[in-house]
Structure 1
Amino acid sequence: MSSSYKQPPHKLTMIPGPIEFSDEVLGAMATPSQAHTSPEFVATFQSVLKNLRKLFKSEDAEAQPYVLAGSGTLGWDVASANLVSPGDKVLVLSTGFFSDSFAECLKVYGADVDVVTAEVGDVVPLKTITDKLKSEKYSAITITHVDTSTSVVSDVKAISEIVKKESPETLIIVDGVCSIGVEDLEFDKWGVDFALTASQKAIGVPAGLSIFFASGRAVAKALARKESTFFASLKRWTPIMKAYESGNGAYFATPAVQTITALKVSLDQILAETLDQRFAKHEQVSSQFKSSVEKLGLKILPVNHEVAAHGLTAVYLPEGVAAPDLLGALSKKGFTVAGGIHKALVGKYFRVGHMGFSVYEGHVDKLTAALQESLTELGHK
């Protein structure tokens, strides 16, 4: 469906999600009402599910993509309720606030959670992960690919290799809410079992969709166990997703028709270039922004560029500049950026999102100029 929608001039949202959206995506949100089992919507949803296989880099017919109405947080519930049983040992690698929140979700479902916490701004050392897997039998391990609170990116490939070597029966669960669509994730090649994300970050669609991908063995485990949830049950959603992907409508709960239509448009845009080209573009813009920030005399929160994410940057505030003042100054210049939320660093840093549409529209360069002007106005030299 073509759209002539043109969004009006507005303050640019440069937080780590929701991000800015393309005119075509926003226009798709105005799609007239369709029945969720209509031929038109079935074709749309079928395209979405097939393209998600490309986004997650999976050709495994036993693996399954899912799209549910909900936030990225729903993915935690889905993983906890379907892949972990009460009493199961789960190893959580924590690189910030969202890793810890995933651990809290797992505990709600009765998991015996073992949290290994990285130094602030760093990742959990690979040797530590190896030692934990040698010393204890874990049903699952969770990796927050990018923790939005610290802008730290974990090496999913290296961690997965360790898990496959030391504890191949352990399910590998990846929180990719702030990574899918901007950081590389080789679902099949790396042996990931469950990866979750959301629509409003690098995928570039208004908030409202919980998107996740499950391996064949994860699906088998979910289908074989007793249900402990209703709406988040993979027993109920798996046949629905299989039906839509095969071109047939099905019903368990009503899908978000307009938002899924917008997701189709966004996935078509994302896949118009190769994923490697997209990742390289994000890395280039990210590196340029980080370099510009450092030239202004500021320090990024990650301990080095190797563990720094490409979809956002967390930056320590310079001495004498308060977060409300800087965020307020940027707001007056037409930009919304985010404060810091790590419990150990509240009020000491801010975060800038640079993913998706803004990366291609030159928004990051404009924000960089506004940041320099704002810091000068606030007395930073």
Structure 2
Amino acid sequence: MSSQPPHPALLIPGPIEFDDAVLQSMSHYSESHVGAPFVSTFGDVLSNLRKLFQTTDPASQPFVLSGSGTLGWDQVAANLTEPGDEALVLHTGYFADSFADCFETYGVKATQLKAAIGDRPQLDEVEQALREKKYKVLTVTHVDTSTGVLSEVKALSELVHRVSPDTLVVVDGVCSVGGEEIKFDEWKLDVVLTATQKAIGCPAGLSVLMASGRAIEVFKARKTRPNSYFGSWKNWLPIMQNYEAKKASYFATPSPQLIHALDTALKQILSRPLDQRFADHRNASQKVKKAIADLGLKQLATKPENQANTMTAIVLPEGVTPPDVVPSLLKKGVVFAGGLHKEIASKYIRLGHMGVSVTDPNRGDLTKAIDALRESLAEVGKA
């Protein structure tokens, strides 16, 4: 039984509901960020991130910086690209537009390969683009939070390594890490960036990134200094290496309480096989998607292979908009998100199914959400 005050179940695609023990870790007493106890905890966090990302390569490096997932984009642009470089951004929704804008901010030429709303660029299209021009990086949003589209990261990475082996493979895993399978070493990924408030199940405020040894070497070989100060790996790489070795180090003050919360969340995740966790998310996703179909509703991602396991973007009946149902859902004790994709925001809502709402068998969040949606649609005469 949760010790949290009664509140509506937060079922947006992040932040998500948090476990009591994770929240309690946030109340850790104040301590020195260079003291041995905290340094030991930070070291454990970095080591456990390797397990979550499934990397054993000592040349790879996890980074944990104070900031949101968006800071991961800045780290990629500022450290792995230089002004005038080319980036291929695979577009599956709102967040590709934002990543491309981030690259342009740093003087990098971003080319977007777009798919229809609810779909993803096909492998033959990606191959053609890679053969037409040399790209420093290719980026893909693993789960686009605006559309619920899941990208095929493993196959994409295989394609890049075959067709354009010098191109770095960068994955925006903000809405996937902890809920969707990612095998960093086996899939030969160069960067996976994420944040703590989604499937990892820790409050917002930490930017998490895993970089391959190849990415680190590209960073070290750059001809110009990184054009970010706070996000520069010149400043952070030795800090992260020292923390992981459990040696005190300092560049900028971390957030000790959030690090403690992340430590708890990661230990919970790793207390059982990752395959079981991913299976839980797949099963929960199928439950939601079946219920959506039973209500006569469609998803933005119409093809099963394009449908994420961490969230579902639900197309509303004709004539119904998010303001017609979201307030009603709140009254029934669940929080859904409205549409985010700027072209169709008024036509759909989004349901997140991640973390404890999925993995804790004592919670009935998803059943409650499905029932509330059915009742809310009935109230507007659409169910």
TM-score by length of 2: 0.97
CA deviation after TM superposition for structure 1 residue 322, in Å: 2.3
**Aligned equivalent of 2:309:** 310
Instruction: Write the deviation string for residues 252-292 of structure 1: whole angstroms up to 9, x where unpaired.
Output: 00011000100000001111111111000000000111100
**Aligned equivalent of 2:108:** 111
Identify unmatched segments of 5+ residues in structure 1: none
Residue 56 in 1 paired to residue 53 in 2? yes
1:87 partner SS: coil
Residue 365 in 1 paired to residue 367 in 2? yes
Contact 1:5 1:26 in 2 (8 A): no
Equivalent positions of 1:197-346 (< 5 A) are 197-225=194-222, 226-346=225-345
**Aligned equivalent of 1:167:** 164
Contact 1:223 1:234 in 2 (8 A): no
CA deviation after TM superposition for structure 1 residue 319, in Å: 2.0
Residue 92 in 1 paired to residue 81 in 2? no
Task: Look up the equivalent residue of 2:232 and give its one-letter code.
Answer: S
User: What is the alpha-carbon root mean square deviation over aligned residues?
Assistant: 1.1
CA deviation after TM superposition for structure 1 residue 105, in Å: 0.2
CA deviation after TM superposition for structure 1 residue 5, in Å: 8.4
Task: Look up the equivalent residue of 1:108 and give its one-letter code.
Answer: T
Task: Look up the equivalent residue of 2:374 and give its one-letter code.
Answer: Q
CA deviation after TM superposition for structure 1 residue 294, in Å: 0.8
Task: Look up the equivalent residue of 1:318 and give its one-letter code.
Answer: P
Q: How many residues align?
A: 378
Contact 1:180 1:202 in 2 (8 A): yes
Percent identity at matched positions?
51
Rounded to whole Å, the distance in 2 between the matches of 1:10 and 1:83 is 43
Contact 2:320 2:347 in 1 (8 A): no
CA deviation after TM superposition for structure 1 residue 321, in Å: 2.2
Instruction: Write the deviation string for residues 315-352 of structure 1: whole angstroms up to 9, x where unpaired.
Output: 00112322112001001011111001111102000000
**Aligned equivalent of 1:71:** 68
CA deviation after TM superposition for structure 1 residue 220, in Å: 1.8
Instruction: Write the deviation string for residues 113-159 of structure 1: whole angstroms up to 9, x where unpaired.
Output: 11100111011010000111111111110011111000000000000
Rounded to whole Å, the distance in 1 between the matches of 2:234 and 2:161 is 27
**Aligned equivalent of 2:186:** 189
Identify unmatched segments of 5+ residues in structure 2: none
Task: Look up the equivalent residue of 1:122 and give its one-letter code.
Answer: D
Task: Look up the equivalent residue of 1:328 and give its one-letter code.
Answer: P
Poorly superposed stretches of 4+, deviation over 4 Å: none
Rounded to whole Å, the distance in 2 between the matches of 1:279 and 1:252 is 36
1:303 partner SS: coil
1:159 partner SS: helix
Rounded to whole Å, the distance in 2 between the matches of 1:120 and 1:303 is 10
TM-score by length of 1: 0.98
Rounded to whole Å, the distance in 1 between the matches of 2:342 and 2:375 is 29
Rounded to whole Å, the distance in 1 between the matches of 2:100 and 2:49 is 26
Q: 1:152 aligns with which of 145, 149, 152?
A: 149
CA deviation after TM superposition for structure 1 residue 34, in Å: 0.9
